[in-house]
Structure 1
Amino acid sequence: MNKMLAFPKDFWWGSAWSAEQAEGRGETGKAETNWEHWFKTEPNRFYEGVGPEITTDHIHRYKEDIQLLKETGHNSFRISISWARMFPNGGVGEVNDKAISFYRDVLTELNKNDIKPFVNLFHFDMPYALEEKGGWTSREVVEAYVTFARTCFHEFGDLVYHWFTFNEPLGPILGGYLENFHYPNVVDFKKGAQAAFNTILAHAKAIKAFKELNLTSKIGVILNLSPTYPRSQNKQDLEAASIADAFYVRSFLDPMVKGTFPKKLVDILKNYNQMPSYEEVDLKIIAENTSQILGLNYYEPRRVQARLTKINEQGPFLPEWFFELHDMPGKRMNIYRGWEIYEKGIYDLCIDIRDNYDNIEAFISENGMGVANETRFMNNDNQVNDSYRIDFIKDHLAYVHKAIQEGCRIKGYHLWTFIDCWSWINAYKNRYGLVSLDLKSQERTIKKSGEFYKKMSLANGFEYDTDKLV
């Protein structure tokens, strides 16, 4: 049955991207980042040899882009601030006045157009000089990050609506220390555990610094969270799912929101001699400085089962020692990205936050569908007719609406992404934007999904066949 799904007053309709994926280097001065260094040394690892030199060239086109935000119905937008741009001497030393001017101009322009700026401080791009010092395994880097965060609070605090310490902090740990898809490409779980702990400590120390300034904004974190589903109700499958959940969901969610660490995970790391080093005062700082708001990035569920094969214990310690991924028959897939499409997962995630994390104020900070070769779907007006993306958005938002009706404090929805942007090692293979980008001309064209997004934002909802909801 078709029904108008109306969202709460002042709902945040928007999207998100990051500095390294959208700005381009520009002329403001910028230290070499870990990604720029990796591209320089191993360009073969990047799709079609495309690096982050220009990306969406937002640094030169931000006024034009902000008008496109208006034309696609945005009342909020998440950017990140480049640590390497703010501190071009390798992430430390004197702050860059040109970077301050650039970001103040961008934030002022957003506010002038009634678009609430959501600002994230770390979105995978670290000054390479700090990576050389050990990256997140180094306490020195933690302190450099806190200086960077404090500087941003001071310089931009009057212009920012909400702050976030990290986007998807699990990503650099998995990619950088376990799965070899993120610089520094080390396979060493114990180093990864140290980097994870130090990231959590940096988050808490940044929040502590933020609270000292008495700003009117809130600060939190953005986590990529995939609800974990067991293959069956068999007790071995349930235990496998519980362990996977501890590694991939609770590992950052618990300390960054509750200030505590999941016992199941700690027990495993102790049993296998994989615990990071820390000081007792660190635990106190983490306990006392937790997120005030939570961003939920949801793309796909995680399905697991008890292991069917024996682990080679002579190999590196990995979470998969305790479970295997379950390839569920009949699942719907985004074949371009290799991810399952399961809309109800976003509802289950919201309910988990409501029931187990004091119903903290939250919003969907990323959700989206990457599709390759979207020029196939261009109409006679050279506009991408991405009806599949419109359906994807509506199907997920219908479950967000259901969660809100059931008491979840979900305050907004941010799509990934605004304009097709550079996606790390995948470059421009899959397009996610409401606005298409011609890489040669940098011309921007609003897709059909961008037109839909504006209509949805203006109506603060959309019509939907609610019989589709489980």
Structure 2
Amino acid sequence: MREESRRICGKGESIWDKLTHDHPESIKDETNGDVACNSYHLYEEDVRLLKDLGVHFYRFSISWPRILPTGHVNLVNQAGIDYYNKLIDELIANGIEPMVTMYHWDLPQPLQNLGGWTNPLIANYFEDYSRVLYTNFGDRVKWWNTINEPKSVVLGYSIPIGFAPNVVTYGHGEYQVIHTILLSHARAYRVYEREFKETQKGKVSIVSVCNWIEPKTDSKEDLEAAERTRQMHIGWILHPIYSKTGDYPPIMKEWLAKKCKEEGYNRSRLPSFTKEEVEMVKGTWDFLGLNHYTTVFVSESLQHFPLFMDCDVGVEQDKSYPTASSIWLQVIPWGFRKILNWIAKEYDNPPVLIAENGFSDRGDLNDTDRISYFVNYLRELLKALNQDGCDIFGYTAWSLMDNFEWASGYTETFGLYHVDFSDPDRRRTAKKSAEVFSEIVKRNEIPARFLTEKSSL
């Protein structure tokens, strides 16, 4: 199936293809994404589902190796261009705005063979790739996300948890990966600004995962630790792009310089931008794409679970909050309002698109927990919007349908629609949450039966 699929569609091998085929044991259920939802062949049916939901736009990702099988522009796969053209045209014909993410973690394997995101040259190749996308699709696509969740990309360079490319370079590779990603994003933004924006008039940004970081206690130590962690993990991505000064957060640079000196290094493990690079990266946004799922509690006294690298804090879940099928996803709606306010304060209230927000279960059709999650998180979004003055202009539920969830395979599902992965036709079935979400979209308010009083979106 693998080789036959490539022969038909011309797609090159990605880092996820290589990991799941060479090391199936890396994935919880030893599955892969060869077919997954089969949207490549069922895109017309999927657009019908979107139209039934009544959504205004559809955020989807383009596969780099489907467009450029080797990662380089000297070989363009016309079958890939044709597929995305058909999807984009089908969306527009049904009154749905296409929103494209250029990179959602599937790096072409030939580029990984050159070092992947630890190689600064990838920024050049990403700029080339972005130009191909703008040229072929920019006449109709007006909303672009360059890279989805840079912080998730570094998981593949951190610890062996079944996340491609699974190259463990803990404490070193992660910083180089983010550095290259930020330069890649900036190059893609600047090339649009120079060559396409005047005629195509679109918007370009990046999407960062921003879960709220809450201090475990009100002690001075924990309050400082929580803010340090926010700066070093949320600000790690956002500060170079959205702050007035650019560059990495000052506390991050100072903390790591001191820590690395104590560890015996001659220089910080955090790479440095040149003055020209600081200016190139700074301001490369037309909006802020935010993925939010949960809240985590940190404390300096909790050293046993160092989720946040180099912050010298530990993480602990509060068992009073329910947990989704994904063990990392606790349902803590008030954290949504807090992160939106923190971003508004930290970066002068940029316009925010919620690019992902969702809940995982085991595929239940009567998914009342997912409905509760959406309703309660949307209530907090409305408080941030209407009471706090946060600039929020769009919301995207993750996800349209159940899919291949990376290291978890098909054991955790986020979809509004159930997909029968044992069926060759990948039959889609609406869950109860699809009905409720459609009602929210079409009425532009949370249904009154879920609230004491209506909340308008």
| Same-fold call, TM cutoff 0.5 | yes
Q: Which among 17, 20, 24 is matched to residue 43 of structure 1?
A: 24
CA contact (8 A) 1:166 1:222 kept: yes
- Please give the alpha-carbon distance, in whole angstroms, between the structure 2 residues aligned to 1:26 and 1:392: 42
- Please give the alpha-carbon distance, in whole angstroms, between the structure 1 residues aligned to 2:35 and 2:431: 22
Residue of structure 2 equivalent to 1:333: 323
- Please give the alpha-carbon distance, in whole angstroms, between the structure 2 residues aligned to 1:317 and 1:440: 35
Q: Deviations over 1:139-184 (max 9, x none)?
A: 2211111100111011111111310111101111134235644223
- Please give the alpha-carbon distance, in whole angstroms, between the structure 1 residues aligned to 2:304 and 2:385: 43
Q: Which among 292, 299, 303 is matched to residue 305 of structure 1?
A: 299
Number of aligned residues: 432
- Structure 2: tracts of 5 or more residues without a match: 261-267
- The amino acid across from 1:276 in the alignment is P
Residue of structure 1 equivalent to 2:116: 135
- The amino acid across from 2:312 in the alignment is F
Residue of structure 2 equivalent to 1:157: 138
Q: Deviations over 1:203-256 (max 9, x none)?
A: 111100111212221111111001211111212112221222122211001112
Deviation at 1:336, TM superposition (A): 4.4
Deviation at 1:348, TM superposition (A): 1.0
Q: Does 1:254 align with 2:239?
A: yes
Report which stretch shifted further, 99-108 or 85-94.
85-94
Per the alignment, do residues 47 and 91 of structure 1 end up closer, same or farther by CA in structure 2, a change over 3 Å counting?
A: farther
Residue of structure 2 equivalent to 1:208: 190
Residue of structure 2 equivalent to 1:359: 349
Q: Does 1:428 align with 2:415?
A: no
CA contact (8 A) 2:206 2:289 kept: yes
Equivalences for 1:49-448 in 2 at 5 Å? 49-178=30-159, 180-185=161-166, 186-212=168-194, 213-214=196-197, 215-258=200-243, 259-271=246-258, 272=260, 273-276=268-271, 278-287=273-282, 289-308=283-302, 319=309, 322-374=312-364, 384-406=365-387, 407-441=389-423, 442-448=426-432
- Please give the alpha-carbon distance, in whole angstroms, between the structure 2 residues aligned to 1:317 and 1:467: 39
Q: Deviations over 1:111-134 (max 9, x none)?
A: 111111110111111001101101
- Please give the alpha-carbon distance, in whole angstroms, between the structure 1 residues aligned to 2:279 and 2:248: 12
Deviation at 1:328, TM superposition (A): 2.9
- The amino acid across from 2:252 in the alignment is L
Per the alignment, do residues 40 and 393 of structure 1 end up closer, same or farther by CA in structure 2, a change over 3 Å counting?
A: same
- Please give the alpha-carbon distance, in whole angstroms, between the structure 2 residues aligned to 1:26 and 1:369: 36
Which TM-score applies when normalising by structure 1?
Answer: 0.87
- The amino acid across from 1:342 in the alignment is I
Deviation at 1:195, TM superposition (A): 1.2
CA contact (8 A) 1:203 1:256 kept: no
Residue identity (%): 28
Per the alignment, do residues 161 and 97 of structure 1 end up closer, same or farther by CA in structure 2, a change over 3 Å counting?
A: same
CA contact (8 A) 1:142 1:198 kept: yes
- Please give the alpha-carbon distance, in whole angstroms, between the structure 2 residues aligned to 1:200 and 1:140: 13
Report which stretch shifted further, 187-196 or 326-335.
326-335
- Please give the alpha-carbon distance, in whole angstroms, between the structure 2 residues aligned to 1:404 and 1:283: 31
- Structure 1: tracts of 5 or more residues without a match: 1-23, 375-383
- Please give the alpha-carbon distance, in whole angstroms, between the structure 2 residues aligned to 1:192 and 1:336: 23
Residue of structure 2 equivalent to 1:465: 451
Report which stretch shifted further, 269-278 or 340-349.
269-278
Per the alignment, do residues 455 and 141 of structure 1 end up closer, same or farther by CA in structure 2, a change over 3 Å counting?
A: same
CA contact (8 A) 1:231 1:305 kept: yes
CA RMSD of aligned residues (A): 2.3
Other structure's SS at 1:266 match: helix
- The amino acid across from 2:131 in the alignment is R
Other structure's SS at 2:29 match: helix
Other structure's SS at 1:193 match: helix
Q: Deviations over 1:319-357 (max 9, x none)?
A: 256111133352332254342110011111111222221
Q: Deviations over 1:346-381 (max 9, x none)?
A: 11111122222121111211111110252xxxxxxx
Per the alignment, do residues 227 and 437 of structure 1 end up closer, same or farther by CA in structure 2, a change over 3 Å counting?
A: same
Residue of structure 1 equivalent to 2:264: none
- Please give the alpha-carbon distance, in whole angstroms, between the structure 1 residues aligned to 2:454 and 2:157: 40
Equivalences for 1:10-21 in 2 at 5 Å? none
CA contact (8 A) 1:25 1:53 kept: no
Q: Deviations over 1:269-300 (max 9, x none)?
A: 2221312255442222112x421111111111
Q: Does 1:30 align with 2:30?
A: no
Report which stretch shifted further, 207-216 or 333-342.
333-342
Other structure's SS at 2:8 match: coil
- Please give the alpha-carbon distance, in whole angstroms, between the structure 1 residues aligned to 2:236 and 2:123: 19
Which TM-score applies when normalising by structure 2?
Answer: 0.89
- The amino acid across from 1:220 in the alignment is S
- The amino acid across from 1:281 in the alignment is E
CA contact (8 A) 2:229 2:308 kept: no
